[in-house]
């Protein structure tokens, strides 16, 4: 009887196959990505739109001052360089959303089929079109954070230079508050994580 207990404990569930676990992990991440993609697009549109408005407001004020010192010149240059990046990010995100809603590829395929082309491999199939849309979405969502990071760096540089023009200690306080704000966000996110 004692031997049968030992055999039963040894014949428990087999350890999971690492390759199978890896495949399931990536499938889970793909499904998660598909579920949060609309939110990522909305967040990106909101951020890029806000940066465009902010850059235009500050640039308008800097234009009235003119190039009176180096700080104003640096601020104007940094914000002027950030503005096209913000517009590009906004257009990319919005364009991908619009193309997905309109299903432009499907309409193009249908137009070619109606014009006499056959589905002999020259006209993409619906699964191929969906794969193309997914690749485009993933590509834009990979590129957008880089565009956003560069734009934020330029915008913060412009803001810092504008504040430096007013007084050095205002610019220093701005940097300190950026660090404090990032620490607050990190602490809030860390506190929201489930315990062991």
Question: Which residue ranges make up each domain of the chain?
Answer: 23-191
Query: pLDDT of 150-182, one tens digit each?
Result: 999 999 999 999 999 999 999 999 999 999 999
**Structure tokens, 112:** 């070619």
- Residue-averaged pLDDT of the chain: 85
Query: pLDDT of 121-132, one tens digit each?
Result: 666 777 777 888
Q: What is the mean pLDDT of residues 46-65?
A: 94
Q: Which of 72-86, 95-109, 163-177, 180-194 has the lowest mean pLDDT?
A: 95-109
Angular region, 103: left φ>0, alpha ψ -120 to 50, beta rest: left
Q: Evaluate whether 75 touches 158 at the Cβ level (below 8 Å).
A: yes
For residues 171 and 24, give the distance between their C-alpha atoms in angstroms, rounded to a whole number: 49
pLDDT confidence band for 60 (50 / 70 / 90)? very high
Helices 126-166/18-65 angle, 10° precision: 40
């Amino acid at each position: 009887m004692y031997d049968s207990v030992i055999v039963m404990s040894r014949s428990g569930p087999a350890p999971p196959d690492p390759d199978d676990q890896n495949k399931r992990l990536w499938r889970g991440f793909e499904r998660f990505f598909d579920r949060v993609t609309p939110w990522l697009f909305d967040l990106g549109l909101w951020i890029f739109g806000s940066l465009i408005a902010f850059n235009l407001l500050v640039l308008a004020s800097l234009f009235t001052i003119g190039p009176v010192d180096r700080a104003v010149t640096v601020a104007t240059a940094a914000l002027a360089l950030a503005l096209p990046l913000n517009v590009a990010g906004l257009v990319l995100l919005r364009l991908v959303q619009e193309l997905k809603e309109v299903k432009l590829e499907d309409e193009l395929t249908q137009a070619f089929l109606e014009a006499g082309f056959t589905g002999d491999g020259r006209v993409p199939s619906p699964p191929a079109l969906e794969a193309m849309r997914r690749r485009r979405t993933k590509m834009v969502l990979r590129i957008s954070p880089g565009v956003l990071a560069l734009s934020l760096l330029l915008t913060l540089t412009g803001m810092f230079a504008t504040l430096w023009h007013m007084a050095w200690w205002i610019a220093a306080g701005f940097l300190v508050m950026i660090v404090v704000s990032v620490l607050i966000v990190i602490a809030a996110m860390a506190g929201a994580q489930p315990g062991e």
